[in-house]
């Protein structure tokens, strides 16, 4: 079953909760985006998990070092999943995966800025992450790189995959039809004046696909 993830790349818990009031009911995974984690720290994890205990709460902390230590604070605050960068050393990725197991949590390995996606994807897969995420970062999105094209570079990788990078309602169906297991949308939801309606329509598209 494919999942819908809203990325809350916001700067305050208050803003995040306001967005969730409108869209929370339609998503499977609530991503506490990197700016939000930097601004509010693990406290936002606790607040959101208490309010949405049935949702998967993902702390997008993009760990680059200290894989066995840094995510701890998020798991202890109630996070179900954290992110580690594929560009990090293998020791860091493996340590984060081992730590997650202690907390019965999950790890998403983010391929952002990886040059050789096919070969790094295979190496990362061998470490046993829960998800490998193809991610066209904010600073690259304006250059027109298509996350669905990027995902094709992971065709030889068989573990669960996520896709991110400027996905919006108009591109959502194509993302759902791609091999991605998790479809992530941030600004494509929270920057829309009718964000509740947008999230609802994404949910409907996903449910239709999942129920085929």
Ligand X SMILES: O=C(CO)[C@H](O)[C@H](O)COP(=O)(O)O
Residue 37, by phi and psi: left (phi above 0), alpha (psi -120 to 50) or beta?
Answer: alpha
Give the shortest CB-191-to-ligand X separation in angstroms: 8
* HSE toward the beta carbon, residue 19, CA cutoff 13 A: 30
Nearer to ligand X, 9 or 150 (CB): 9
Give the shortest CB-141-to-ligand X separation in angstroms: 6
Nearer to ligand X, 105 or 165 (CB): 165
Give the shortest CB-6-to-ligand X separation in angstroms: 9
- With beta carbons less than 8 A apart as the criterion, state whether 51 and 20 touch: yes
Q: Over 87-146, what HEC string results?
A: CCCHHHHHHHHHHHHHCCCEEEEECCCCCCHHHHHHHHHHCCCCEEEEECCHHHHCCCCC
Nearer to ligand X, 32 or 157 (CB): 32
Nearer to ligand X, 187 or 196 (CB): 187
Give the shortest CB-112-to-ligand X separation in angstroms: 6
Nearer to ligand X, 93 or 108 (CB): 108
Contacts with ligand X, residue ranges (CB under 6 A): 7, 9, 31, 33-34, 60, 135, 137-138, 164-167, 184-188
Sorted by sequence, the CB contacts under 8 Å of residue 62 that are 6+ apart come out as 34, 83, 84, 85, 110, 112
């Amino acid at each position: 079953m494919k999942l819908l993830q809203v990325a809350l790349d916001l700067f305050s818990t208050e803003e995040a909760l306001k967005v969730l009031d409108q869209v929370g009911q339609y998503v499977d995974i609530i991503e506490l985006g990197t700016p939000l984690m930097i601004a509010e720290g693990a406290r936002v994890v606790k607040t959101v998990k208490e309010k949405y205990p049935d949702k998967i709460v993902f702390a997008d902390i993009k760990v680059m070092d200290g894989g066995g230590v840094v995510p701890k604070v998020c798991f202890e605050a109630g996070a179900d999943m954290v992110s580690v960068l594929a560009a990090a050393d293998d020791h860091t990725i493996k340590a984060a995966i081992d730590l997650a197991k202690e907390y019965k949590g999950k790890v998403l390995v983010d391929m952002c800025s990886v040059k050789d996606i096919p070969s790094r994807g295979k190496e990362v897969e061998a470490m046993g992450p829960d998800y490998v995420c193809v991610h066209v970062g904010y600073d690259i999105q304006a250059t027109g790189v298509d996350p669905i094209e990027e995902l094709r570079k992971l065709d030889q990788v068989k573990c669960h995959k996520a896709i991110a990078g400027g996905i919006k309602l108009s591109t959502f169906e194509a993302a759902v039809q791609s091999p991605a297991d998790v479809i992530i949308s941030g600004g494509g939801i929270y920057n829309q004046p009718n964000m509740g309606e947008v999230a609802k329509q994404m949910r409907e598209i996903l449910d239709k696909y999942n129920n085929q």
